[in-house]
A and B are shown apart, each in its own frame.
Chain A
C-alpha cells in the first residue's frame, strides 16, 4: 500500500488518504495525499485559523499600518508577540496590536458603533499613522457587522487615511490558507492600482510571498539592488502599505511563497499582464538559479553572475564545511507546506541532508505535487499531521533533527531530538546564500550539542557511574 495508515489512526481511518510513502517507480499522481479538506475534530491537528492566515501571516507584516481586529480581545492578543518579522522603521508592526474588544452587549446589539469609535481612536492616538488593515473575526462575522461600510464612512470623514478590510473569520475554510486567499484577492480588487509608485529604474519587480522572517527580505533586497533592480513592492516583508497599492507598475512578479501569495501574482498577470516567475529563495544553488532567471528576464545576466560569484566566494567554503559534517543526517520538516518543497532538495543538494518525513498543515494538492516531485523515495509525506502521528513517524524514520514550531520542538526535546524553528528560524535569516549557511550552522549546532549525549546517560545506572567515580555498589550500601 503506497498510502499508509498509522496505528494511532485506527479510529480515524480517513487519515490514510493523507499519508504517503514514496516508492520507486510509482506513478505518484495516483497517490497524492488528500489536502486542504476539513480537519478531523479532536485529532490534535496542528492547524490554525484563517484569520491567522490573513492578519498574522500577511497583513501584520506591513510596517506602517494599524492592524484593527474587530472582535473580542483574544484574537488580537494571540497574534501579538508571536512573529519574527522585523522592519527598518523600528518594528512598529511587532509592537502593537489593536482590538475593538467586543463585549456581550455588542454581540447582541451590533458592534459597528464600537468599531467606528475604535478606528477613530486608533488614528487619534497615533496621528502619524495613516493606514489600516481591518479584520473581522468569528464573532463579528456571525453577527453580520458591515466593516466595509464603517471603513468607507471613516475614510470619507478622514481623507488622509486609508483602510483595507479583510472579512475572514476563523471558521472560514479549513486552515490558515483561506485567509491568504481572501486577503490576496481583496487587496488586488480594492487597493492595487490606487497608488502610483515613483519609478527609479527601468528594471522593476514585485517580490511576492516573502514575509521578512528574521530579515530575509532585507537580505534578498540587497542582491536585487546590486543588480540595479527596483522592487516596487514586497508582498509583504518590510513593506509600506502604499507600496503594495502600486504593485501594478512592476514588470515582473517574482514569487517565493506560491501557497500564500500565488493568488495575487496570478491576478496581476491576468489584469496587468505581469509575468509570474516562481523561484526558491531558500537554498544556495536555488538562490543562484533564481537570480539567473531574474537576470535573464531583464537582460542582466552578467550582473547576476557577478553577484553569484561574489557570494559563492564568500559563503560556499563555509557551506561546504557544514556539508562535510551534515551529510547523511536525517531531517523532518513539519511546517505549513511550502518549506517542504523549498527545502527537501535544497538541503540534500547543498548540505547532503536526507529529508525523511514531511508534514504540511495547510498545503494544497499542488504543494504535494511539488514536494513529492522533489522529495526522496522512502520519505513520508503527510497532510495535516496530528500529534500522535508525529510520535509514530519519529519511531519510523528516527530523525536527527526536526524543523518545526517551538511547541512541537519542546515536545520532541523529551525524546532527545533537537529542533530548529522551521517557521521563524533559530538564528536567521535563512534565505539567500548567507541565509542557507546560517541554516546549516544552526543544524550543525543543534545536532552536535553535548546536551543529547548527556540526556541519554542514566546516573542511576551503575555502569555509567563507575566510569566517572568509584561508587559503592548496591550491595555495599
Chain B
C-alpha cells in the first residue's frame, strides 16, 4: 500500500486552511517582549489578524497598522510607515522592536521598507529601537512561510556575535503556550540551559488583583542578540524556523540541529536524544517515567478504540506529518493528510519518505496546497470514509455537517475552550492528544448510541 502526494487541482480556493504571510509575521512579532509590529498595508491586514489571535487565545495583542489609504496606494505609502513609527515610539516609550511587515498592497506599489529602516536609524540615532523590515507579500506562501520569514528577519537584524555561551537556542515553530511549557520542562529536567524562541508562555496571562497583567511575548532583544553566541540551535519545524537555524549556523557558526516536530513518542525521543547529545547530559529517569506514563495511557486506548480508525488531518506540514506519525504509533490510520499551502520543499520532506516506506496495509493520500473543500468534497462523494478529523476550528462545519467526530489541533482552535494551554508535543502532548481523541470518540458513541454501553470496563 502506498502514500501518494498531489496538489489541489482547482485554481480557486474554497475554505482556505491558512491565511496569508503577514498574519504569520504578526504572530512572530507578538512573541517578542516590548515589540509592536507595524503592518504596512490596508487596515484590515492588521485588524483581522488581531481578531484571529483573540479568537484563538482569548487575549488582546498589540499590533499597529500604517493605515494605507487611497492616496498613499497611488503615490507611495512609505511616509505612512514613518508616521506610524513615530507615533509608536512616542506613545509607547517601552517599545524596543518594530518589525515593519509588508503586505500585498505595499509589495505591489514597491515601497522600500529596507531603505526606510536605514533612514529610520538616522532619524532616531539615540533610539534603542530595532526596526526590522519583514517582506511578507501575501501572494507568496502562507501564514506558515510568513512566520518563517519574519523569524529569520528578526534574527538577521538583531543577532550579534559576543562572548560564547553554553546555551542552546530552541526555535520551536508556531506553538501554543502549552507546547512551549512542555518543551521548557524537558530542558529543566535535563538541566540544560536554553533560550526559547519565541517565548509565548505568557500569552496565557492571569487576571490579577492589581490589574497589572497583560498577554505578551517574553523573548527579549538580548535573547535574540545572544542567539549568535549559543552552543547550538535546535529547530523543531522545517517550515517554521529551520531557515533561521541555518542562518545562525552560516553566519555565526552556531551548530544547527533540526529535529522533527516532537509530536508523538518517537519524535519526542528524538528531541531528548538530541538535547542529550548536544549537552552531554543523560536523559533522566523522570523523563523515562513520563514517557512510560504516556505509553501506559495510550496502551489503554490503541487496540481497543483506535485500531483501524480512519483519520483526516489538516494544517501546517510540520504538525500534520507529526500527527500522522503519532496516529500510526497508536494504531490510528491517517489516511488523508492536507497541507494548506504549497512549498517546493514538501516533496523532499523525510517524513513523507518515511510514510511512503512504511509497511502499512492502507493507503495514505497527501494533498498539498489543499483547501477544506477538498476534504468536504471527498466525504460527500463517498471517496473518503472517516472516523475522525483532526484540524483547526475553521474546518468545524465539515465535521459537524457530516457527523464525524473532530479533535481540534493547530491554529486557530476557537470553538473549544482552553486548548492553547495544553501541549500536543512531548509525552504529555501525546497523552493529551490520545485522550482528547478517545473522549471525542466516546462522546460521539453516546450521541449516536453506537455501542455506548461499551465504555464501562476498558
Contacts and interface: CB of A to CB of B under 8 A. Distances in A.
Given A103-B140, A410-B54, A45 B13 contact: no
Interface stretch (B204-212, B224-232, B293-301, B319-327): B204-212
Contact of B60 (A42, A48, A97, A408): A408
B390 to A, nearest CB: 18
Contact of B87 (A12, A46, A104): A12
B139 A139 contact: yes
A1 interface: no
A137 to B, nearest CB: 8
Contact of A104 (B19, B22, B47, B139): B139
A25 interface: no
A416 B211 contact: yes
B62 A74 contact: no
B263 interface: no
A79 B55 CA distance: 13
A49 interface: yes
A41 B81 contact: yes
B11 A39 contact: no
Interface in A396-422: 405-408, 410-411, 413-416
A114 B42 CA distance: 23
B165 to A, nearest CB: 35
Nearest to A111: B139
B62 A44 contact: yes
A48 B47 contact: yes
Contacts of A74: 19-23, 45, 48, 104, 138
A411 B60 contact: yes
A97 B108 contact: no
Contacts of A170: 41-45, 105
A410 B59 contact: yes
Interface string B180-220: 00000000000000000000000001011111011000000
A414 to B, nearest CB: 6
Contact of B12 (A45, A51, A101, A408): A101
A125 interface: yes
B12 A117 contact: yes
Contacts of A94: 397
A40 B87 contact: yes
Interface in B66-125: 66-70, 72-73, 80-81, 83-88, 90-91, 103-105, 108-109
Nearest to A142: B108
Contact of B42 (A12, A77, A143, A169): A169
Contacts of B16: 73, 76-77, 80, 97, 99, 101
A72 B14 CA distance: 13
B317 interface: no
A172 interface: yes
Given A11-B90, A48-B43, A74-B45, A410 B139 contact: no
Given A8-B91, A41-B83, A98-B13, A78 B54 contact: no
Interface residues of B, number: 79
A41 B44 contact: no
B257 interface: no
A205 interface: no
Nearest to B142: A73
B18 A75 contact: no
B23 A39 contact: no
A11 B86 contact: yes
A79 B48 contact: yes
Given A74-B19, A414-B213, A416-B211, A172 B70 contact: yes
A169 B87 CA distance: 25
Interface string A234-274: 00000000000000000000000000000000000000000
A97 to B, nearest CB: 6
B69 A106 contact: no
Contacts of A457: 209
A11 B91 contact: yes
A419 B433 CA distance: 33
Contacts of A316: none
Nearest to B415: A81
B46 to A, nearest CB: 9
A104 B137 contact: yes
A198 interface: no
B15 interface: yes
A72 B396 CA distance: 23
Given A42-B85, A48-B47, A99 B73 contact: no
B370 to A, nearest CB: 11
A147 to B, nearest CB: 14
- Between B16, B44, B108, the greatest number of chain A beta carbons within 10 A of the residue's beta carbon is seen for B44
B209 A414 contact: no
A407 B50 contact: yes
A72 B83 contact: no
A179 to B, nearest CB: 10
A10 B93 CA distance: 13
A82 B214 CA distance: 24
A372 interface: no
Contacts of A82: 48, 51, 55
B13 to A, nearest CB: 4
B377 interface: yes
A416 B12 contact: no
Contacts of A16: none
A71 interface: yes
A102 interface: yes
B207 A125 contact: no
A119 B13 CA distance: 10
Contacts of A77: 16, 18-20, 394
B10 interface: yes
B42 A49 contact: yes
A456 interface: yes
Interface in A337-360: none
Nearest to A42: B84
A139 B91 contact: no
Contacts of B23: 74, 78
Contacts of B396: 81
Contact of A414 (B41, B73, B207): B207
Given A72-B104, A170-B42, 15 more contacts: A38-B67, A41-B81, A44-B64, A47-B47, A51-B44, A52-B47, A71-B104, A73-B20, A74-B104, A82-B51, A104-B139, A118-B12, A138-B42, A138-B108, A405-B51
10 contacts: A42-B66, A42-B88, A75-B44, A98-B13, A118-B13, A138-B41, A171-B69, A457-B209, A458-B210, A461-B209
Nearest first, the 4 closest Cβ-Cβ pairs linking A and B are A118-B12, A170-B42, A74-B20, A42-B84
